[in-house]
A = this chain, B = another copy of it.
Amino acid sequence: MRQQNTMQQKTQLNKPRQKKVLDLHSVKVACKECSLHQLCLPRSIVGADLEKLDSIIERKRPLKRNEHLFQVGSAFNSIYVVRSGSLKTYSPTVDGQEQVTGFHLPGELLGLDAIGKGKHPCAAKALETTSVCEVPFEHLEGLTQELPTLQHQLLRLMSKEIFDDQELMLLLGKKTAEARLSAFLLSISLRFKQRGFSSTEFYLSMSRNDIANYLGLAVETVSRMFTRFQEDGLIKAERKHIVIKNREMMKKISGMNECCDETDDAESQLFV
């Protein structure tokens, strides 16, 4: 067995049993002690400000696989930060199918798309055991009035979200199946890296079906692409366990801009 960290495991490793241990019943770990602290908090927020921020954040019991964080059309009250595990967001389509709109890894946000209309345009479902921080939006908005840095941070994060969505549109709009899957894997890889996980070896928590749905392809096509990538020595794929073997070639195939590259530095992921 080689070393195979799921998002779950990594989070656990980072926070070995200390004073307060993450347990399924009472999750009450202050922001200061959270394993995602460095990723999650704006650097500039410290001391008393940090206390303020911490005081508004609610920690919910972890979600089990397939449990919903919120449903389509439900009232928007909070935004969420993934602490460990992962979720997918999806919308219902006219024909009763679901359409996957995104995957959310540790340190990433959910719910920003709901601010405008005051209700969630999509549902969020856990892909594995997952814990999130809940940030009541009214409180957050109030706090931003006191803390200009926080406001700036929030605007930056929303802007990043817009930017990322547009990146993805580039992908979905134009490319072939192999370009899409390649770019998808690189995107996941980069996001893992930004959170301190391995960028060359990781577990995909989502099914082939979810990936296909997300990329606008048939499951069979995705499966065939995985096979082909493997034959071509680009990756090693054993079900959900993925090893990136030839990143450069994958970049070429995906037709990615440089901007989607590792040039992204830590700054862009900070939050609340």
Instruction: Please give the residue numbers on chain A whose beta carbons come within 8 Å of chain B beta carbons, in ascending order.
Output: 91-95, 99, 101-102, 112-117, 121-122, 141, 144-145, 148, 151-152, 154-163, 165-166, 168-170, 172-175, 213-216, 255-257, 259, 268
Q: Flag if A174 contacts B117 (CB, 8 Å).
A: no
Known: A94-B256, A116-B163, A121-B259. 8 other contacts (CB 8 A): A91-B166, A94-B257, A114-B159, A116-B157, A116-B159, A116-B160, A145-B148, A169-B169
Contacts of A99 in B (CB 8 A): 170, 173-174
Q: In the docked arrangement, what's the CA distance between A129 and B219, Å?
A: 46
Contacts of A91 in B (CB 8 A): 166, 170, 257
A–B pairs, 26, beta carbons within 8 Å: A91-B166, A92-B257, A93-B170, A93-B174, A95-B255, A101-B166, A102-B166, A113-B159, A113-B166, A115-B155, A116-B157, A116-B163, A117-B160, A141-B151, A145-B151, A158-B159, A158-B162, A162-B162, A165-B165, A165-B166, A168-B169, A172-B173, A172-B216, A173-B215, A174-B213, A174-B216
The secondary-structure label for the interface of chain A is helix
Residue of B nearest to A165 (CB): B165
Residue of B nearest to A259 (CB): B121
Q: In the docked arrangement, what's the CA distance between A114 and B159, Å?
A: 7
Contacts of A175 in B (CB 8 A): 216
Q: Flag if A255 contacts B94 (CB, 8 Å).
A: yes
Known: A116-B157, A155-B154, A255-B93. A162 touches B163 (CB 8 A): no
Residue of B nearest to A76 (CB): B159
Q: In the docked arrangement, what's the CA distance between A157 and B173, Å?
A: 24
Contacts of A141 in B (CB 8 A): 148, 151-152, 155
Q: In the docked arrangement, what's the CA distance between A215 and B122, Å?
A: 23
Q: In the docked arrangement, what's the CA distance between A94 and B174, Å?
A: 13
Contacts of A157 in B (CB 8 A): 116
Residue of B nearest to A258 (CB): B94
Q: Which of A151, A173, A214 has most chain B Cβ within 10 Å? A: A173
Contacts of A154 in B (CB 8 A): 155
Contacts of A259 in B (CB 8 A): 121
What is the minimal beta-carbon distance from A64 to any residue of chain B, in angstroms? 26
Contacts of A161 in B (CB 8 A): 162
A-B interface, 7 closest residue pairs, ranked by CB to CB distance from nearest: A173-B216, A115-B159, A165-B165, A116-B159, A116-B160, A172-B172, A158-B158
